[in-house]
Amino acid sequence: MYGKFQQYLQTELDSITEAGLFKGERIINSPQEAEITLTTGQKVLNFCMNNYLGLSNNQELIDAAKNALDTRGFGMSSVRFICGTQDLHKELEKKVAEFFGTEDTILYAAAFDANGGVFEPLFSEEDAIISDSLNHASIIDGVRLCKAQRYRYENADMASLEEQLIKAQDQRFRIIVTDGVFSMDGNTAPMDEINKLAKKYDALIMVDECHSAGVVGKTGRGVTEQFNIRGEVDIITGTLGKAFGGAIGGFTTGKKEIIEMLRQRSRPYLFSNSIPPMVANAGIKMFDMMSQTTALQDKLHANTDYFVKKMINAGFDIKPTKSAICAVMLYDAKLSQDFATKLLAEGIYVIGFYYPVVAKGQARIRVQLSAAHETKHLDHAITAFTKIGKELGVLK
Ligand SMILES: *Cc1c(COP(=O)(O)O)cnc(C)c1O
């Protein structure tokens, strides 16, 4: 059998390559931080990591992880409800809830699982899920696993959301679902307006804070802080794999009955392993750090402002951003790839995105800022962008 199947796969892989969509992987042999080393020996500045607060190689988190390795062992070998819950898991859940101003939290192996396991236990045929068109793949998959009626509104478009809410009025329960920050444009969901519409049309709200938690809002509490609706959102999902240390792990936090129901019925929670003690302990340490100072958020916000301002002054077309994601618009797919290749030669590691990851004719380079970046790193990037921009005729 495999012969025929292999042939089929090879043809598919070839067509992916021919379409220019083959995803190669660059191999890093240093820790994840501002300056990384590739296996080619090249040292580059990393502007495409989700390491927004620079915690991926933070010594205090490493120490907390080591400490848990010594005192609580390596792994749990169990799902949570059998024998996979340590005091550390409960403590981390409490810290997440404190951070977001919610009632309770449930941990998952990843945010992909949190989103995959949140809808099916809570909603059925009689209910409506009203989802932003640019929501993350894990939300789309989670919605697919649920029998609720599906409604879709245009990205962050409140007229479109209202239309869908009107259509869904006959359903038993309605939930509006949105990413906090959209990862390609760096825009935020207008949570204040979403909240108003939710009240007007009697809907619940769920927000995925993966790209916004730790980043957005004055103290990094995410979009509910930015839009001053802390405590008003019913469900928040998020990851420990981006700003919060970058290791692994996801969570759903919100109203206590919702979290309790997820503990009873959410399949990725019931049938998948517990996060390792070292990750839980590093997470606890991380939230303690977050509650003591906003130094990292302050630095990240300053870095983002600095970079965006200088890039606009240099003449680049930058999408208005409300996060640490800065989309440098180039519009042409090939140009975005050539630009990124040339930047790598200048020691700047970024990725060019084009259709189907973004809309046709909307190719861009996505720059992700971090508190790990120093001004000299930002200046190096701006200089390289300007040089290549002139070389490729993007700048005059
Ligand atoms: C990264 C991301 C996820 C997945 O997070 P993991 O913890 O890596 O599974 C889910 N939703 C959004 C919006 C994301 O950006």
pLDDT digits (tens, 9 = 90+) for 125-161: 999 999 999 999 999 999 999 999 999 999 999 999 9
The residue among 252, 267, 290 that closes a domain is 290
85 lies in the same domain as 180? yes
pLDDT score of 20: 81
Atom of ligand 1 nearest to the CA of 241: 7
The dihedral built from the CA positions of residue 177, 179, 180 and 186, taken in this order, carries a sign that is negative
* CB-CB contact of 203 with 162 (8 Å): no
**For a substitution probing ligand 1, which of 210, 252, 272 has the most ligand atoms within 8 Å of its CB?**
210
**What is the 303 CA–ligand 1 centroid distance (Å)?**
23
What backbone phi and psi angles, to 5 degrees, belong to 103? Answer: -95, -40
**For a substitution probing ligand 1, which of 119, 242, 251 has the most ligand atoms within 8 Å of its CB?**
242
Count other Cβ atoms within 10 Å, centred on residue 339.
24
pLDDT score of 55: 98
Identify whether 352 is part of a domain. Answer: yes
Please check the confidence at residue 104 and state whether its pLDDT lies above 90. yes
Length of the chain: 396
pLDDT score of 133: 97
Please check the confidence at residue 22 and state whether its pLDDT lies above 90. no
**What is the 204 CA–ligand 1 centroid distance (Å)?**
21
Number of domains present in the structure of the chain: 2
Q: Is 342 a catalytic residue?
A: no
The residue among 263, 290, 317 that closes a domain is 290
Q: Is 212 a catalytic residue?
A: no
105 lies in the same domain as 220? yes
* CB-CB contact of 267 with 247 (8 Å): no
Please check the confidence at residue 182 and state whether its pLDDT lies above 90. yes
Active-site choice (242, 299, 301, 322)? 242
Active-site choice (131, 138, 183, 370)? 183
266 lies in the same domain as 360? no
* CB-CB contact of 288 with 96 (8 Å): no
The percent of the chain in helix, strand and coil, each rounded to the nearest 5, is 40, 15, 40
**For a substitution probing ligand 1, which of 96, 107, 136, 140 has the most ligand atoms within 8 Å of its CB?**
136
Average pLDDT value for the chain: 97
How far apart, in Å, are the Cα atoms of 23 and each of 83, 129, 341, 384, 389?
Answer: 39, 32, 14, 24, 25
Q: Would you give the end-to-end CA distance of the chain in angstroms?
A: 58
Identify whether 16 is part of a domain. Answer: no
The residue type of 244 is F
pLDDT score of 21: 83
pLDDT score of 167: 98
Identify whether 11 is part of a domain. Answer: no
Identify whether 8 is part of a domain. Answer: no
Extract the runs of DSSP E, i.e. beta strands, from the chain. 35-37, 43-46, 104-108, 128-132, 149-153, 174-179, 204-208, 235-239, 250-254, 325-331, 348-349, 351-353, 363-368
322 lines ligand 1 (CB under 6 A): no
Please check the confidence at residue 25 and state whether its pLDDT lies above 90. yes
214 lies in the same domain as 322? no
pLDDT score of 154: 98
139 lies in the same domain as 266? yes
Identify whether 338 is part of a domain. Answer: yes
Please check the confidence at residue 30 and state whether its pLDDT lies above 90. yes
* Structure confidence at residue 87 as a pLDDT band (50, 70, 90): very high
257 lies in the same domain as 183? yes
325, with CB counted inside 10 A (0-12, 13-18, 19+), is buried
pTM of the model: 0.97
Identify whether 10 is part of a domain. Answer: no
Per-residue exposure over 95-129, b if at least 16 CB sit within 10 Å of its own CB, e if not: bbbebbbbebbbbbbbbbbbbbbbbbbbbeeebbb
- Specify the residue with its C-alpha closest to ligand 1, atom 1: 210
- Tokens matching residue 325: 């994601």
Query: What whole-number distance in Å separates Cα of residue 269 and Cα of residue 259?
Result: 11
132 pairs with which residues across the strands? 153
**What is the 314 CA–ligand 1 centroid distance (Å)?**
32
CATH number at residue 94: 3.40.640.10
Active-site choice (89, 95, 136, 211)? 211
55 lines ligand 1 (CB under 6 A): no
Identify whether 9 is part of a domain. Answer: no
The dihedral built from the CA positions of residue 61, 64, 70 and 71, taken in this order, carries a sign that is negative
**Quick one: what percent of the chain has pLDDT higher than 70?**
100
Encode pLDDT of 281-335 as tens digits: 999 999 999 999 999 999 999 999 999 999 999 999 999 999 999 999 999 999 9
* Cα pseudo-dihedral 182, 184, 187, 193, rounded to 10: -40
321 lines ligand 1 (CB under 6 A): no
283 lies in the same domain as 298? no
- Tokens matching residue 179: 């990413």
Atom of ligand 1 nearest to the CA of 50: 1
Query: What whole-number distance in Å separates Cα of residue 252 and Cα of residue 178?
Result: 14
Give me the mean pLDDT over the 74-93 stretch.
98
Give me the mean pLDDT over the 193-202 stretch.
98
Which structural domain range is residue 310 located in? 22-51+294-391
236 lies in the same domain as 179? yes
235 lies in the same domain as 263? yes
The residue among 290, 305, 340 that closes a domain is 290
135 lines ligand 1 (CB under 6 A): no
181 closest CA partner among 193, 173, 170, 189: 189
246 lies in the same domain as 156? yes
Give me the mean pLDDT over the 1-9 stretch.
97
53 closest CA partner among 238, 240, 284: 240
299 lines ligand 1 (CB under 6 A): no
Identify whether 366 is part of a domain. Answer: yes
pLDDT score of 361: 96
279 lies in the same domain as 308? no
Please check the confidence at residue 19 and state whether its pLDDT lies above 90. no
CATH number at residue 33: 3.90.1150.10
39 lies in the same domain as 63? no
